[in-house]
């Protein structure tokens, strides 16, 4: 339990640092910005209530606020990751569609290469 508490405190300090002492307004962050922050894990949030047994009562309010903030960050990161996965899936489907068209196109391989370069702006 002692090592778990030390790990929790260390991770909490990292989150505090990355979010400017939990003052970063999460609703203003883009998906990319949310995903660039240290990911909040379900395990971290599940362990958090156990810290009330080792933290002095005068720090309960601060701990509660930190947990609430990080739970919100967890939800926002999860939603951002889901949206990012949907974007990747759409992009992958589009790429597969282009590949299929290219495979069936009556062109030389060099013409296909040039078309793909142009399509993706690799020129």
Q: Residue 105 above 90 pLDDT?
A: no
When pLDDT is averaged across residues 113-123 and rounded to a whole number, the result is 80
CB-side neighbour CA atoms (13 Å) of 41: 7
Q: Which residue has the higher pLDDT, 85 or 107?
A: 85
Question: What span, in angstroms and rounded, lies between the C-alpha atoms of 77 and 39?
Answer: 7
For the stretch 15-66, pLDDT in tens is 999 999 999 999 999 999 999 999 999 999 999 999 999 999 999 999 999 9
Q: Specify the pLDDT at position 82.
A: 97
Q: Specify the pLDDT at position 73.
A: 98
Mean pLDDT for the chain overall: 92
Nearest CA to 51 out of 12, 5, 15 is that of 5
Question: What span, in angstroms and rounded, lies between the C-alpha atoms of 89 and 83?
Answer: 10
Q: Specify the pLDDT at position 102.
A: 75
């Amino acid at each position: 339990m002692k090592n778990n508490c030390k790990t929790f405190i260390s991770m909490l300090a990292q989150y505090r640092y990355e979010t400017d002492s939990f003052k970063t307004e999460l609703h203003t962050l883009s998906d990319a910005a949310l995903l660039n922050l240290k990911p909040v894990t379900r395990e971290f949030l599940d362990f958090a209530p156990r810290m009330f047994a080792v933290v002095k009562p005068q720090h309960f309010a601060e701990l509660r606020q930190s947990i609430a903030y990080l739970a919100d960050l967890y939800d926002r990161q999860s939603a951002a990751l889901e949206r990012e996965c949907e974007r990747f899936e759409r992009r992958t489907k589009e790429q597969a569609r282009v590949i299929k068209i290219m495979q069936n196109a009556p062109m030389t391989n060099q013409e296909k290469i040039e078309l793909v370069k142009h399509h993706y702006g690799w020129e």
